[in-house]
Structure formats: C-alpha cells, structure tokens
C-alpha cells in the first residue's frame, strides 16, 4: 500500500535571511516604538530581511526615529553633566540633532549613487536602514552610559572625560555605520554591482565620518568647560580635528 503520510514540500526557495518577525498587527504609541527597537536588538538579520521585503516600513521608521532620539538624548544628558544641568539638557537636545542631521546631509549621496550602480531598494527602504543604524548607535551608547556616569562621578578630570566620550561616540558611530553598509551589501545580491559597491560604501563611510565630526564641532559645546559660563554654541572657528589636538595638548574642552 502506498504511503499516504503528509510529505514536506521543497519549494526550492532558499532565502538568505530568517523568517520575518514583525507582528501582523503592530501596537500603537511608545510601546510600538520600543517594540521595533527590541526587534532590531533580538534579531538584526531578520529585521533587515523585513526591510528587504518592504514589510511595515512606515511603522519601523516611526519606531526607530522615536527610540533613537530618546536614547541619544539620554546619553547626551551625561555629556553635559560635567558642566551644569543647563548644559546637560542642551546636550541631550544636540546629540540627536547631530546624528539625524548628519544622516540627512549624507543620505542623498548614499541613495542616488547606490541607485546608479544597480540598487533596487526603494527610498523608504534606505530611510529605514539609515534609521536602524542610528538605533544601533543609540543602543550601544546606552550600554556605555553607566561607564561614562561612573567616570563623571569618580574622576575630576574634564579633559579625560571629554576624550573618553569622544572615543565612545566614535566607536558606536563606526559600528552603526558598518551595520548600515553590511545591511546594504546583504540586500543587494546582483553580482555585477557587488564588485563596485564596497568601494563606494567605504568612500561614503569616510564622508559620513568627516561631516559628522565637523557638524559636531559647529554644534559644540557638548561638554562645556567647568568653571566657565554656559555657552549655547561656539564661534565656529577652527575645526574638529584641530580641537582634538589642542585637547590632547591640555587645551579647554568643548
């Protein structure tokens, strides 16, 4: 007698990503925003796969935008606390502005040049990827928050505290941007474009870093100089890289 037991059908659909993880009916409000960030933390590969399938992009964009801004603001609080409560609040506003404005300036280059070399991802998909990278950065900063707070409370050295946090912001920004570049490479599977895209993404990464550093200089001070009056914005003279050299030489903090 023939075996009539159910058979597993092999569809031949070998997907490089895990199954989507988004709920069919997303919740609303801040809980929904937090849910998006938790999805990104729990399974980044599946999260990127959903972006590739254009699944619930507006929902993801709102969630990533809100949570990213809140977490960056939380870390901004500790940056300005070395000077005064007013500086702490202002830095909590400035830090999200720094990352979102840098992304806005660099986004057209990322999207247009990737389209020229064969990208098939939509404008909203690229927006979601960029915001996901900012969320990665903000989550990593949240992880460093206790470290920064510890040195703020136990060490009376504004120059060291400034250099420490510049290193933390640089490290987390690099990891988040590499996540973005890697996600783009995962979604773009056309062999012809894969040979040219890494070179472009490496160039874009350098551009993003340079613009972010210079924009940070124009938005400074983030830390302020202890003992000096509160200043909302510096005079804009000089540049970020010269300021780091002066700080290493024992100059005032920004």
Instruction: Please check whether residue 4 lies inside any domain of the structure.
Output: no
Q: Which helix (H) or strand (E) holds 99?
A: helix 85-116
- State the pLDDT at residue 20: 46
Give residue 140's domain range: 30-248
- State the pLDDT at residue 84: 86
Please state, in angstroms and rounded to a whole number, the distance separating the CA atoms of residues 200 and 218.
27
The count of residues in the chain is 254
Domains contained in the chain, number: 1
- State the pLDDT at residue 190: 56
Instruction: Please check whether residue 50 lies inside any domain of the structure.
Output: yes
- State the pLDDT at residue 108: 94
Angle in degrees, CA 11, 17, 19, rounded to 5: 70
- State the pLDDT at residue 27: 54
Instruction: Please check whether residue 93 lies inside any domain of the structure.
Output: yes
Please state, in angstroms and rounded to a whole number, the distance separating the CA atoms of residues 55 and 66.
19
Instruction: Please check whether residue 64 lies inside any domain of the structure.
Output: yes
- State the pLDDT at residue 194: 60
Instruction: Please check whether residue 10 lies inside any domain of the structure.
Output: no
Q: Tell me the C-alpha to C-alpha distance, in Å, between residue 120 and each of 167, 188, 224, 229.
A: 36, 8, 45, 52
Helix axes 197-219, 158-187, angle to 10 degrees: 150
Instruction: Please check whether residue 16 lies inside any domain of the structure.
Output: no
From the list 135, 128, 197, 202, the residue with the least C-alpha distance to 172 is: 135
Instruction: Please check whether residue 7 lies inside any domain of the structure.
Output: no
Asked whether 169 and 223 are in contact (CB, 8 A), the reply is no
- State the pLDDT at residue 195: 60
Instruction: Please check whether residue 215 lies inside any domain of the structure.
Output: yes
Determine if residue 117 is left, alpha or beta; phi over 0 gives left, psi from -120 to 50 gives alpha, anything else beta: alpha
From first to last of its 254 residues, the chain has per-residue pLDDT tens of: 444 444 443 434 444 444 444 444 445 578 888 889 899 988 888 999 999 998 999 999 999 999 999 999 999 999 988 888 999 999 999 999 999 999 999 999 999 988 888 788 899 999 999 999 999 999 999 999 999 999 999 988 888 898 899 999 999 999 999 999 888 888 876 545 566 778 888 889 999 998 998 898 888 888 877 777 877 787 666 677 777 777 666 655 55
Q: Tell me the C-alpha to C-alpha distance, in Å, between residue 234 and each of 22, 27, 113, 223.
A: 44, 43, 34, 12
- State the pLDDT at residue 57: 92
User: CB 88: neighbour CB atoms within 10 A?
Assistant: 18
């Amino acid at each position: 007698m023939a075996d009539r037991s159910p058979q597993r059908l092999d569809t031949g659909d070998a997907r490089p990503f895990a199954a989507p993880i988004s709920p069919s009916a997303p919740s609303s409000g801040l809980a929904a925003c937090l849910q998006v960030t938790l999805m990104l933390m729990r399974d980044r590969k599946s999260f990127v796969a959903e972006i590739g399938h254009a699944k619930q992009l507006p929902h993801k964009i709102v969630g990533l935008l809100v949570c990213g801004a809140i977490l960056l603001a939380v870390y901004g609080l500790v940056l300005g606390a070395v000077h005064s409560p007013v500086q702490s609040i202002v830095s909590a506003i400035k830090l999200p502005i720094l990352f979102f404005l840098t992304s806005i300036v660099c986004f057209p280059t990322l999207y247009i040049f990737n389209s020229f070399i064969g990208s098939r991802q939509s404008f909203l998909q690229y927006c979601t990827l960029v915001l996901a990278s900012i969320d990665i950065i903000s989550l990593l900063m949240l992880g460093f928050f206790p470290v920064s707070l510890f040195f703020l409370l136990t060490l009376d050295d504004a120059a060291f505290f400034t250099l420490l946090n510049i290193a933390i912001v640089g490290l987390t920004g690099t990891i988040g941007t590499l996540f973005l570049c890697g996600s783009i490479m995962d979604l773009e599977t056309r062999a012809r474009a894969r040979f040219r895209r890494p070179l472009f993404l490496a160039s874009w990464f350098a551009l993003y870093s340079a613009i972010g550093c210079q924009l940070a200089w124009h938005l400074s001070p983030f830390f302020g100089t202890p003992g000096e009056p509160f200043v909302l914005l510096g005079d804009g003279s000089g540049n970020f890289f010269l300021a780091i050299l002066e700080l290493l030489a024992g100059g005032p903090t920004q």
